[in-house]
Amino acid sequence: MNQGRTSQPADRRAWFGLLIVLGPVLLVAMDGSVLFLAMPRITAALQPSPDQSLWILDIYGFIVGSLLIAFGNFGDRYGRLRLLVIGALVFGAGSAGAAFAPNAEFLIVFRALMGLGGATLLPSGLAVISELFADARQRARAIGIFAATFAAGFAIGPIVGGQLLSFFWWGSVFLINLPVVVLFTVFAPILLREVRASRPGRVDIPSVALSAGGLLLCVYGVKHLAAYGLSIQAVLAVLVGAGILVWFIWRQRVLSRPLLEVKLFRERVFTVAIITGLLSLVAWSATAYLSAIYLQSVLEYSVLRAALLTLPGAAVLTTTCIVTPHLVERIGKRASLILCHLSMAGGLLLLVPTTVTGGTAWFVASTVVAGVGYGISFSLVAETAVGAVPEERAGSAGAIAETSNEIGNALGIAILGSLATFVFRLQNPGPQGTLNEVLAVPDLGQAVIDQAKGAYLTGYHIVAVTASVLCLALGLLAIRWIPKESVHGVTDEGAQTEHSRSV
């Protein structure tokens, strides 16, 4: 836990510092979802293959997630402000390149460059906020605001994208990043001071390579299986990637200054919280992406109308992030985690009654109910991670929380998105691999269109049920695994330990 901090209230400069950090945080989160409604336009303009479409969507989240832990350590050891400014500039350069990408390959490359910048921004931003607010209550509130901004970015990404696409070409969804990047690079050195660990040490480069390489191979294998079916190449990629990740974890256990603090996972609340961050984004990203296609391609709504339908859920999600610290004070982390998973599970099941001819009320109800769970997850995971370590390790601990979110975002589209694609390929008799490819074929009969939409809806429902079952299973694990809290917020297990020590 954080030790040795004073409880002196934060001054005005700290709150302005928080405000300037929130700009890049909003952008990094927003760019994880801004393409959900833009993909039909991008598909029409660049003609990507099915697997290229998946890479366009989640190469960004994958790069962010695979490098967060490494850059969290870089910031702790070599300076968080320096890394924030460098990351903002890289993110801006990637955004400008993506806006004018001439083909799918270039768009994937520039999205990867944006991910590289984003990986520097999130952990150092969270660590800077932790350093700005010494008072525990104010720090929890600031982290809640940070989490709410991050969640709001994910939630409003499709809305912003929909608004821009109503007036401009698809590249505009990237150009909006540039003014915020400019403002941040101007004001961050004024409002924030440089912070680094007192004994920085060196970053273990082999660990960086192992974590990124293992994740890359696993995600590539899953994508290849979904796009092209079973193959030795794809299976080997998954197996080798999993083996490399096991090697990475083993290496962290023997290093004196590891990239990933494996020992933190001995704490059950921390472990369940991090898994919650992963699973909530798996469910959210997959269903948000598939819902965007459902609203536009199945129900044939305009981009703007589809975007507006996501507003209620976005409002609930953001509000829940802000009030979660108060909720935890009243009912405890255990009950909050259980409520989180039950809300997500129930909300996801509300997508099942949607049909080819209607279902907007079910969709809105789903986003509102599940939004409560998503909001608790965003806020609680970040606060739990940062509160579990000394201040000098805040960047790397915050990186664990953000990694769970970003990897969940990438894996949600890679795994559950691939599951939807697989079901569609089984259900649709034509050669096309996606619904949008079917709808792009000229002079199709209505029966063929209806059959393709029905195939898509089947995959959509299977993904919703699968995500719901995963959330429910983790909720049951939290009930059984995390000890109940006493009236003073100490777990029964912890109370027994303290009693035995005193004896």
From first to last of the 503 residues of the chain, give the pLDDT tens digit: 444 444 566 667 777 878 888 888 888 777 766 776 677 788 888 888 777 877 787 787 677 766 777 776 676 666 677 778 888 899 899 999 998 988 888 999 999 898 888 878 776 776 777 677 766 677 777 777 777 777 777 767 777 777 777 778 888 888 888 888 888 888 887 777 665 554 455 667 888 788 878 877 877 777 677 566 678 888 898 899 899 989 988 998 888 777 777 777 777 777 777 888 888 888 887 888 888 889 888 888 877 788 788 888 888 888 888 888 788 888 888 888 889 999 999 999 999 999 988 889 999 999 999 999 988 887 777 777 666 555 555 555 666 766 677 677 667 777 788 788 888 888 877 777 778 778 777 777 788 888 888 889 999 999 999 999 999 998 888 888 777 753 334 444 444 433 333 33
| Angstrom distance (rounded) from CA 86 to CA 352 | 45
Nearest to 401 by CA among 254, 243, 255, 280: 280
Write down the domain spans for the chain: 12-203+259-435+444-485, 204-258
Which residue type does 299 have? L
Give Cβ neighbours of residue 170 (< 8 Å, ≥ 6 apart). 38, 41, 42, 45
Domain 12-203+259-435+444-485 - what CATH class?
A: mainly alpha
SS3 state of residue 300: coil
| Angstrom distance (rounded) from CA 261 to CA 250 | 11
Q: What is the pLDDT of residue 5?
A: 46
Which residue type does 112 have? A
Q: What is the pLDDT of residue 301?
A: 86
Do 320 and 376 contact (CB within 8 A), yes or no?
A: yes
pTM here is: 0.70
Q: What is the pLDDT of residue 389?
A: 58
Phi, psi of 485 (to 5 degrees): -95, 145
Longest dimension (CA), the chain: 82
Q: What is the pLDDT of residue 503?
A: 38
Secondary element (H or E) of residue 474: helix 446-481
| Angstrom distance (rounded) from CA 73 to CA 375 | 27
| Angstrom distance (rounded) from CA 360 to CA 309 | 8
| Angstrom distance (rounded) from CA 297 to CA 291 | 10
| Angstrom distance (rounded) from CA 418 to CA 286 | 9
Which residue type does 447 have? A
| Angstrom distance (rounded) from CA 136 to CA 387 | 9
Q: What is the pLDDT of residue 243?
A: 94
First to last CA, the chain: 24
Do 378 and 491 contact (CB within 8 A), yes or no?
A: no
| Angstrom distance (rounded) from CA 354 to CA 289 | 15
User: Which ranges of 350-445 would DSSP assign to H, the alpha helix?
Assistant: 360-386, 394-411, 417-427, 435-439
Mean pLDDT of the chain: 78
Phi, psi of 491 (to 5 degrees): -70, 155
The Cα-based distances of 497 to 252, 364, 491, 494, 500 in angstroms read: 28, 46, 10, 5, 5
Cα angle for residues 312, 318, 324 (degrees, 5° grid): 125
Do 395 and 80 contact (CB within 8 A), yes or no?
A: yes
